[in-house]
């Protein structure tokens, strides 16, 4: 990935607007990611199960709406969907500080806002990954995804520290205002994209149901896509088991404050920045398949350091664990998303992304529910151990996949004939 502006994507203003929109909204979302559970813990005095349920409310829409969202994204222009989702999320999040100002904030409202924002995120993310190939060439996909992942990783560096400082200075509900404003800024940048966008091609006379089934058959009928989904679904479930209660664990067992937790995530986020910077070079050196397996290994075992953190000096364990995990996740995302965008026919991109995310993100609320139940039964630290152990073996989906034999990033779309295991 090239960060200095001297050509290529740096000369494409529409890509830069998309990149800028993603950068500002990612920074704001990092604030909410920390501030929302802190609002539940510190303002509403929520239990560990209630905090875990809040995470489930954010991700449940992927189980409920991802598949039909994919069909509509393949039927409609994608930019208006992106702008509308940003504006809707800005309004939903703004209700939290408003309710807090009138001393009316409750867990019911936090659940409602999390669910509404999560639903709009479903449509945004499905449209977002389907929109990028309309703005860049197939040969530029890896570089484009690397830049987008760099912004996400950089937001993970700056965002938690900003969030921790804001929570400590102006309280968690008011910190969420930053995210609301970031979505407005993102919508404005996306609105200014000038590239014409045609309505996606579709077979005449087909129903929503038949197109939905076609998407599922395409994704589940190919051994390569099945292995990608199996890995991410597995690792997301176990990540969710551990992450859903991490704030409760850090505050109540490790006695860490919001600014300290934010600083931990800030330092650990440097791993994601490194992953985005080296992704292109690592992919060329190792090949696509080996890069995916390497990223899978980096994304699991380091999580074991989190429950191993001693109460007397937990910070080094937490920083190293999150840093290596972040490195692996970003390295995987750049490689896997680019591969999917390169090989999937454009008319199938929305359903491809929706069907895949229905599976891989649909396991997250299940992991959150399991996390809350386990935490109430066996304890916080023990629950994080369960999540870490499961995440540590999830890379086996990739190690025994036909993907491991791919070396160079393909430059032509796949036929709809699936690859068999």
Question: Looking at the predicted structure, is the pLDDT value of residue 416 above 70?
Answer: no
Spatial distance between the Cα atoms of 214 and 217, rounded to a whole number of angstroms: 5
* pLDDT score, position 417: 45
From the list 377, 333, 354, 12, the residue with the least C-alpha distance to 152 is 333
Helical (H) or strand (E) element with 20: helix 13-38
| pLDDT at residue 83 is higher than 50 | yes
Closest among 40, 42, 48 to 378, alpha carbons compared:
48
In CATH, the architecture of 8-192+206-405 is: Up-down Bundle (1.20)
pLDDT in tens, 246-257: 988 998 999 998
Q: Render pLDDT for 106-128 as a digit per residue (tens, 0 to 9).
A: 999 999 999 999 899 888 888 88
Task: Check if the beta carbon of residue 96 is closer than 8 Å to that of residue 105.
Answer: yes
pLDDT tens for each residue of 16-33? 999 999 888 888 887 888
DSSP string, 164-207: HHHHHHH-HHHHTHHHHHHHHHHHHHHHT--S--PPPP--TT--
Select from 125, 370, 388 the least CA-distant residue to 235: 388
Q: What is the mean pLDDT of residues 402-407?
A: 85
Question: Which residues neighbour 362 within 8 Å (Cβ) at sequence distance 6 or greater?
Answer: 59, 62, 63, 66, 233
Please, what's the b/e burial string for 106-138 (b: 16 or more CB within 10 A of its CB; e: otherwise)? ebebbbebbbbbbbbbbbbbbbbbbbbbbbbeb
pLDDT of residue 4: 53
Tens-digit pLDDT profile for residues 133-192: 888 887 788 888 888 888 877 777 777 777 778 888 888 889 888 889 989 999 999 999
CA distance 279 to 329: 11
Q: Which of 159-163, 287-291, 350-354 has the highest mean pLDDT?
A: 287-291
pLDDT for 98: 94
State the pLDDT at residue 202. 63
pLDDT, one tens digit per residue, over 53-68 is 888 888 888 888 888 8
Nearest to 168 by CA among 59, 34, 68: 34
Measured between alpha carbons, how far is 243 from 299 in angstroms, rounded to an integer? Answer: 13
Report pTM.
Answer: 0.72
Ordered by start, the domain boundaries in the chain are 8-192+206-405
Q: What is the CA radius of gyration of the chain?
A: 20
Query: Taking Cα atoms as reference points, which of 200, 119, 140 lies closest to residue 18?
Result: 140
Of 387, 381, 355, the closest CA to residue 369 belongs to: 387
Which of 135, 153, 21, 134 lies closest to 85 in space, CA to CA? 21
| Nearest to 408, CA basis, from 315, 308, 284 | 284
Q: 174, 97 in Cβ contact below 8 A?
A: yes
Tokens of 182: 């970031």
């Amino acid at each position: 990935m090239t960060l200095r502006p001297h050509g290529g994507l740096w000369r494409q203003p529409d890509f830069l607007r998309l990149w800028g929109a993603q950068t500002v909204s990612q920074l704001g979302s990092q604030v909410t990611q920390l501030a929302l559970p802190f609002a539940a813990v510190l303002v509403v005095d929520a239990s560990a199960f209630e905090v875990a349920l809040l995470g489930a409310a954010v991700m449940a829409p992927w189980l409920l709406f991802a598949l039909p969202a994919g069909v509509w994204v393949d039927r409609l222009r994608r930019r208006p969907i992106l702008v509308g989702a940003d504006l809707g999320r800005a309004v939903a999040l703004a209700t939290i500080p408003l309710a807090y100002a009138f001393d009316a904030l409750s867990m019911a409202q936090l659940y409602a806002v999390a669910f509404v924002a999560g639903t709009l995120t479903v449509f945004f993310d499905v449209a977002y990954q389907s929109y990028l190939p309309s703005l860049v060439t197939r040969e530029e996909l890896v570089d484009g995804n690397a830049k987008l992942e760099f912004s996400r990783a950089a937001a993970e560096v700056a965002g938690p520290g900003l969030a921790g400082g804001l929570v400590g200075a102006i309280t968690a509900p008011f910190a969420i205002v930053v995210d609301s404003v970031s979505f407005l800024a993102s919508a404005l940048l996306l609105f200014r994209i000038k590239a014409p966008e045609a309505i996606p091609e579709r077979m005449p006379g087909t129903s929503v149901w038949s197109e939905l089934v076609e998407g599922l058959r395409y994704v589940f009928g190919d051994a390569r896509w099945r292995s990608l989904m199996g890995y991410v679904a597995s690792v997301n479930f176990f990540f969710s088991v551990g992450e859903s209660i991490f704030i409760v664990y850090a505050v109540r067992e490790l006695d860490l404050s919001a600014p300290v937790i934010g600083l931990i995530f800030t330092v650990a986020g440097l791993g994601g920045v490194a992953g985005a910077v080296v992704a292109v070079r690592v992919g060329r050196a190792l090949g696509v398949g080996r890069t995916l397996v390497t990223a899978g290994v980096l994304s699991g075992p380091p999580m074991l350091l989190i429950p191993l953190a001693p109460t007397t000096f937990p910070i080094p364990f937490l920083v190293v664990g999150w840093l290596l995990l972040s490195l692996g996740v970003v390295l995987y995302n750049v490689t896997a998303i680019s591969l999917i965008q390169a090989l999937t026919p454009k008319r199938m991109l929305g359903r491809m992304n929706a069907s895949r995310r229905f599976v891989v993100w649909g396991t997250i609320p299940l992991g959150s529910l399991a996390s809350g139940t386990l935490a109430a039964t066996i304890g916080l630290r023990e629950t994080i151990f369960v999540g870490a152990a499961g995440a540590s073996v999830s890379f086996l989906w990739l190690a025994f996949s036909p993907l491991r034999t791919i070396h160079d990033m393909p430059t032509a779309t796949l036929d709809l004939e699936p690859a068999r295991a």
